[in-house]
Structure 1
Amino acid sequence: MDNKRLVLGLGGTVDYEIVWDSSVLEGLIREYDIRADELTTAVPVSSERALVVTLLAFVRDGVGGERFVASSEIIETFSARFQREITLGGTCVRAAIAMRTLGVTCTLHLVSIDDHVRRLLPEGCAYICSAEEDSTDPHLIVQFGAGVRVTAEDIDFTAPHPNRIIYANDPPNRDLVIAEELGDVLSTADVFMVAGFNVIQDEVLLEERLAHIADDIDRMPAGSLVFYEDAGYHIPEFATRVRDRILDRIDVYSMNEDEMQSYLGRTVDLLNVDDVEKALGELHAAIPAATLVVHTKYWSLARGERAAELRAALQGGITMASTRYCYGDGFTVADYEAVGRLAVHEGGVQMAKTLETNDVTVAVPAFVLDVRTPTTIGLGDTFVGGFIEAYSR
């Protein structure tokens, strides 16, 4: 497949993936005299102590998230305490890596480059980059499994669910400079996947980038697809600015269950149809997208104008993300095919049937996944890759 047909942006990252070790965190709890009533995700991450406080709060609640860190030195210091692996991240790059496993290549838009990126980009993928020189600003990726326990001082909890947290201070992605040649590349593209506005922290800069990307999207051929993957915004009110500026150019607006619940300001019982329908109604009122996609641990759904054509894409996204969950980095075509034969979640089946009440809703159940050490990093990104790979077929 011509890699210029599928364009994924807007920025990749260099990731430090640490191996979970409760004993290290317990040592830090004692070293910093951290108490249970301090645990919160709301404090600024201005020190290693603050990072530990927020990380423990995420794990205690079994939820994922993304937080801004005052400096990359905090990430270097904390990650050096653990066994770690250097990988590539960012929604566009992880999606591209997943797609390449099934033989599909793309063109990536990057905002930073270094030798790690050159070495680890998937074979056969082209890229354009707005950076004028090399730089490395690592993202800390912490994943944890259900049942991991942390106990020190008066802190004692067990994670109820597996998930992942991202910590970063990444100036190139925060500035998100758009390459001048992106418009030319999009002029012949079938699909453009957009992600990355969530880390911008300057209002004027955000408006400039949105104006630029809107002009570039307008150069795409008739019938092409613009896919937007949401994320946790470092400045929450900027999410509304992004929607106001480019929502009319987005064909598919996608998010995971954590992002949906964050927008709603409450938890949603994902296996209760009344609660889910109420949530989807509230979500669509806040985000009146042409087609909304929500991907969760039990089901994935498309609702809107193009929903009817997205069943295979939803299935591709679920299968790809589930394969990464089970096999981690380096999964194979055989792994992907094996996951596609797994039993599906009965609750997800019933939800999917019930949610498909009209011709503008398509829902697909997730698989039953029983893995001792699951991979929770990059599942949303991998869902995107599986979705676009299947859609492109």
Structure 2
Amino acid sequence: MQQHKIGLGLGNNTDFELVWNPKALEQCIREYDVHEKDLKEERRPILNEKDLLINVLRFIKSGIGGECILEDTETALQFSKRFDYEITIGGTCPRSAIAMRKLGYTSCMHLVTMNEHIKNLLPPDCSYVCSNKDESFDIHLIIQYPADADIIANDIRIHTVRANRIIIDDDYNNSIMNLSEDFFDNYLSEAKVFMLSGFNVMQDHELLKKRLSYMKEQLIKLKKQGTTIYYEDACFADETSNQLCKAYLFEHVDIFSLNEDEMKDYLQRDIDLLDASQVAAAAKTLKERFAIPLVVIHSKYWALAYGNHAKAYAACLKGGITMATTRFRFGDSFNEPAQYKETYALPDDEEGKKFAGAFASIVGDRGCCIPSVMVEEQKVTTIGLGDAFVGGFIPQLSEM
């Protein structure tokens, strides 16, 4: 079997990427008689299309991205019929594999769901093992909303300030997360890096403990052979599951990576992403809380590393920023290395550059910050940017 320097896990899904259509949302608001007061009520499980709509509107109104869980596939399919959409492959594991393959790096993936759509979208010269032997169709609805958009219906008045994306999960196979012994026993013997992301939709705590115990054993084996363990965070549906995941695994993780929204969730406060003192304090808190060697935080303005030998990861951060920004600019039409090289050469974002200098003066050798670049495109992609960041960071990490 083919061996690779990069191993990626753990899950995947089938994405329905909905084309932005505020008129369809407005029609849905009127149809279900949704009002402003509904958006202020306590969050509840998504049991029907009206619940789904209210959750989507809450995200858009707040201007943030995030994930929420569906109770059944039919609700997702019913809602998706109101929009044009494209079927793509989802999950940090396959999306990052696709991204890094554009730079010539192959990988081996641990997947949990497989169907013809996924088979056709995976890079042909990358390896994969799927822990589910039957064909399955786990759906993620992806809603990408632009900046400066309006939703006006009933008494609802929403104006978007920035672009972002919402993920609505129907994720049975990720919720049980069967793990393949074949993958861990036979495909990672030459892995220099193993990227771990998942467990975030598991809510059965006893089953989760069983999966985490096995995963912990595998991380110990990988560490013994010199593999670097990179953990990319995800939006957990259940805080207890999140805490269990960190308690079982983080002793063996080398790099903990997360985006700005996840950082704010952990700290339970808003953070000015251009205030270097606030971000430096946040990075220090995360490193100390999780006792992790290196914390990586990626945002729209910059990407930074904080912790042991942070400055050694400058090329990794630049690779992550460049890959994410290339996807931001070109979306799924990013197919050529020349597009990556063009993005790499763009001038630094002025706000990000100023922040990076201030951050360096505060943290010294404990940190490294690379600013984002200036982008002129107006029609941009916000789906999969974190996955693209991973796909740019890890190839450089595998060369260290």
TM-score by length of 1: 0.97
Kept after mapping to 2: 8 A contact 1:143/1:165? yes
- Answer yes or no: is the 8 Å Cα contact 1:291–1:305 preserved in 2: yes
Q: Deviations over 1:242-268 (max 9, x none)?
A: 111111110100000010011111211
Q: Unaligned regions of 5+ residues in structure 1, if any?
A: none
Who is 1:282 aligned against? 285
Task: Quote the Cα distance in structure 2 between the aligned partners of 1:213 and 1:272.
Answer: 37
**Is the 1:9–1:195 contact (alpha carbons within 8 Å) kept by the matching residues of 2?**
yes
Residue deviations 1:177-228 (CA, integer Å, cap 9, x gap): 1101132223331110000111111101111111111111222254321000
Instruction: Identify the range of structure 1 (6-15 vs 366-375) with the bigger mean alpha-carbon deviation.
Output: 366-375
Structure 2 counterparts to residues 208-219 of structure 1, below 5 A: 208-219=210-221
Give the Cα separation in 2 of the matches to 1:328 and 1:74: 27
Partner of 2:310: 307
Counterpart AA for 2:65:
G
1:368 matched to 2:374? The reply is yes
The equivalent of 2:184 in structure 1 is 183
> Does the CA contact (< 8 Å) of 2:3 and 2:189 recur in 1?
no
Tell me the amino acid that sits aligned with residue 25 of structure 2.
L
Residue type at the aligned position of 1:333: P
Deviation of 1:3 after TM superposition, in Å, equals: 5.2
Amino acid corresponding to residue 67 of structure 2 in structure 1: E
Q: Would the aligned equivalents of 2:287 and 2:307 in 1 still touch at CA under 8 Å?
A: no
Deviation for aligned residue 1:44? 1.7
Q: After superposition, what is the alpha-carbon deviation per residue over 1:311-366, rounded to whole angstroms, capped at 9, x for unaligned?
A: 10010000000000000013121111111111211221122122223222111111
Question: Which letter does structure 2 place at the counterpart of 1:14?
Answer: T
- Equivalent residue runs for 1:323-342 within 5 Å: 323-331=326-334, 332-342=336-346
* Equivalent AA in structure 2 for residue 322 of structure 1: T
Q: Does 1:91 align with 2:92?
A: yes
| Corresponding position: 1:54 with 2:55 | yes
Could you tell me which residue of structure 2 aligns to residue 38 of structure 1?
A: 38
Show the counterpart of 2:102: 101
Superposition deviation, residue 119 in structure 1: 1.1
Q: Cα gap change, 1:367/1:3 in structure 2, threshold over 3 Å: closer, same or farther? A: farther
- 1:65-111 CA distance string (max 9 Å, x none): 01001111111000111000000010001000101111111000011
Superposition RMSD in Å:
1.4
**Is residue 193–residue 397 contact of structure 2 (8 Å, CA) maintained in 1?**
no
Paired residues for 1:115-126 under 5 Å: 115-126=116-127
Which runs of structure 1 show a deviation greater than 6 angstroms over 4 or more consecutive aligned residues?
Answer: none
| SS of residue in 1 equivalent to 2:376 | coil
Instruction: Tell me the residue number matched to 2:23.
Output: 23
- Amino acid aligned to 1:324: R
Q: Is the 8 A contact 1:328 1:375 kept in 2?
A: yes
User: Could you tell me how far apart the structure 1 residues matched to 2:373 and 2:46 are?
Assistant: 36
Distance in 2, matches of 1:97 and 1:42, equals 35
1:9 partnered with 2:12: no
Which segment drifts farther, 74-83 or 354-363? Answer: 354-363
Residue of structure 2 equivalent to 1:349: 353
Q: Secondary structure in 2 aligned to 1:267?
A: coil
Relative to structure 2, which stretch is displaced further, 256-265 or 36-45? 36-45
Q: Is the 8 A contact 1:183 1:217 kept in 2?
A: no
**Distance of 2:329 and 2:44 partners within structure 1:** 33
Using structure 2 for the length normalisation, give the TM-score.
Answer: 0.95
Q: For residue 206 of structure 2, what is the aligned residue in structure 1?
A: 204
Q: Which one-letter code corresponds to 2:32 in the other structure?
A: Y
Q: Which amino acid aligns with 1:23?
A: K
Structure 2: unaligned runs, 5 residues or longer: none
Amino acid at match of 1:163: N
Structure 1 distance, partners of 2:34, 2:289, is 38
Contact 1:190 1:224 in 2 (8 A): yes
Contact 1:183/1:219, CA 8 A, preserved across alignment: no
SS in 1 for 2:333: coil
Q: How far 1:276 moved relative to its partner?
A: 1.5
Structure 2 distance, partners of 1:324, 1:123, is: 21
Q: Give the Cα separation in 2 of the matches to 1:94 and 1:132.
A: 21
Whole-Å separation in 2 of the counterparts to 1:137 and 1:10: 14
Cα distance in 1 for residues equivalent to 2:291 and 2:221: 23
User: C-alpha deviations, 1:139-169, integer Å up to 9, x for none?
Assistant: 1011011111100111111111110010012
Are 2:390 and 1:384 aligned?
Answer: yes
Structure 1 residue 248 corresponds to structure 2 residue 251? yes
State the match for 2:128 in structure 1: 127
Partners of 2:289 and 2:152 in 1: how far apart? 40
Shift of 1:306: 4.1
Partner of 2:260: 257
